[in-house]
């Protein structure tokens, strides 16, 4: 299917232009909300064109910087390209780019390190200032102007709602069978109008399959045909397999004691090789009819769906290896009824996490014997990537398992809901400190 056939709305077809023309519509000094979550669904043409424009401005002696807001980490074509030309004034809420990290730690880039579930409501409340422009990748545009989400949702609904102007990238590389997989909830509100999130099970659908948008806000449409950034996972090594075995033994013990049901509680797994290896270890376990309520869907969960052990998985983004992604795209209708992609303010919502009683597995940088966990800073002051979504889950779940490297060994730590980790969490640009459960 060609990119042109993905844009079925005649008014929006008239706004098709090049990435360079679209980038020229973004002025210096604005805040830009961009799609993207763990290398999936990020805009792949406009950020690079904007970086070229910034570089040209720098050569001519003109400072050109913008605020960049995303769902989570993106890719070298976005974070890397803009950071390389010193084009980012302030970044939030999470990043994993080495150039961004270097500039943040050198004090050359402002960084707001906040829980992923907080970003949307901060924007709704105006706490971060105006959102001037949104640059969002979608998989297609319907005749009535509704937008088909791509391989991640993240904060895209909020960007489209709150931005003054919107630039769309319509990516024909994204599988058209993604249509219908998403659940975009439009029932959120600020206090005192806020209502409970009506999710009682991981596979509950409470929203729409499409983004809504006022077409008058769309100032440009850019056609692309580019793949997501997908990194391979290391095969599970002996230590990872041992950790998986210990976790399986523990979960079976909890089932025998009557503290967990036979099919456990919904699973959450953070990004990384070890968490993915633990998910893979569940293949050999006795548990059936599993469910997941998580941020990202990695290879291990996909394998559990294939084998029939995992009945459903709710997430906000894919984070798959190239091999797993090829398999997903080759047979996406097979997985469609088992996977739901939601906005991250719902996938990471503390109310829902507490209600469902999540069993979470995440990484850490360091921990002490009292259960204080640090997942954000090296040496107390140098940022690594950020708190991400681990804190959203750490304080509100049923069981929390942490994993870390120690020399040549990997170690695993367990926190129950009544003993969740608490530790200092510092945000740059803010003059306060607060405490958070992190992982």
Are the C-beta atoms of 358 and 265 separated by less than 8 Å? yes
The 8-class DSSP code of residue 90 comes to: E
Helix (H, G, I), strand (E, B) or coil at 1: coil
Give the CA distances from residue 197 to residues 117, 189, 350, in Å, rounded to whole numbers and listed in that order. Answer: 13, 11, 10
Has 345 been annotated as catalytic? no
Are the C-beta atoms of 12 and 215 separated by less than 8 Å? yes
Spot the catalytic one: 295, 303, 327, 345.
Answer: 295
Q: DSSP letter string over 95-121?
A: ---HHHHHHHHTTSSEE----GGGHHH
The 8-class DSSP code of residue 21 comes to: H
State the CB neighbour count (10 A cutoff) for residue 284. 11
Strand pairing report for 296-297 and 290-293: unpaired
Distance of alpha carbon 223 from alpha carbon 173, whole angstroms: 10
Are the C-beta atoms of 86 and 80 separated by less than 8 Å? no
Distance of alpha carbon 241 from alpha carbon 12, whole angstroms: 51
Report CA dihedral (348, 421, 127, 378) to the nearest 10 degrees: -110
User: Helices H, strands E: what count in the chain?
Assistant: 15, 23
Just list the catalytic residues.
295
């Amino acid at each position: 299917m060609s990119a042109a056939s993905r844009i079925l709305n005649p008014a929006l077809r008239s706004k098709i232009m090049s990435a360079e023309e679209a980038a020229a519509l973004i002025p210096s000094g604005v805040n830009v909300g961009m799609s993207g979550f763990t290398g999936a669904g990020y805009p792949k043409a406009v950020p690079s064109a904007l970086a070229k424009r910034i570089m040209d401005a720098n050569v001519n002696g003109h400072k050109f910087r913008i605020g960049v807001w995303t769902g989570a980490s993106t890719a070298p074509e976005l974070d890397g390209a803009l950071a390389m030309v010193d084009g980012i004034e302030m970044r939030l809420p999470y990043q994993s780019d080495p150039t961004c990290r270097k500039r943040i730690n050198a004090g050359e880039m402002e960084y707001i390190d906040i829980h992923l579930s907080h970003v949307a409501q901060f924007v709704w409340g105006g706490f971060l200032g105006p959102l001037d422009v949104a640059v969002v990748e979608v998989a297609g545009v319907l005749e009535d102007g509704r937008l088909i989400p791509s391989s991640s949702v993240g904060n895209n609904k909020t960007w489209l709602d709150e931005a003054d102007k919107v630039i769309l990238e319509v990516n024909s590389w994204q599988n058209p069978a993604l249509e219908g997989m998403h659940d975009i909830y439009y029932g959120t509100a600020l206090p005192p109008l806020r209502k409970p999130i009506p999710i009682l099970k991981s596979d509950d659908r409470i929203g729409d399959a499409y983004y809504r948008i006022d077409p008058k806000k769309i100032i440009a449409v850019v056609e692309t045909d580019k793949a997501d950034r997908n990194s391979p996972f290391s095969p599970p090594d002996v230590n990872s397999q041992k950790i998986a075995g210990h976790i399986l033994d523990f979960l079976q013990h909890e089932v025998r004691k009557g503290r967990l049901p036979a099919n456990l509680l919904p699973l959450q797994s953070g990004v990384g090789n070890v968490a993915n290896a633990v998910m893979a270890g569940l293949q050999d376990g006795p548990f059936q009819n599993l469910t997941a309520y998580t941020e990202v869907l990695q290879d291990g969960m996909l394998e559990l769906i294939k084998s029939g052990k995992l009945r459903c998985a709710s997430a906000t983004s894919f984070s798959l290896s190239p091999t797993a992604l090829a398999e997903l795209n080759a047979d996406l209708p097979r997985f469609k009824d088992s996977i739901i992609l939601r906005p991250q303010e719902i996938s990471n919502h503390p109310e829902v996490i507490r209600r469902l009683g999540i069993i979470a597995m995440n990484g850490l940088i360091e921990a002490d014997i009292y259960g204080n966990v640090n997942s954000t800073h090296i040496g107390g002051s140098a940022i690594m990537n950020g708190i991400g979504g681990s804190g959203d889950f750490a304080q509100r779940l049923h069981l929390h398992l942490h994993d870390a490297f120690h020399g040549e060994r990997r170690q695993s730590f367990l926190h129950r809901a009544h003993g969740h980790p608490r530790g200092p969490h510092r945000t740059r640009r803010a003059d306060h400190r607060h405490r958070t459960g992190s992982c």
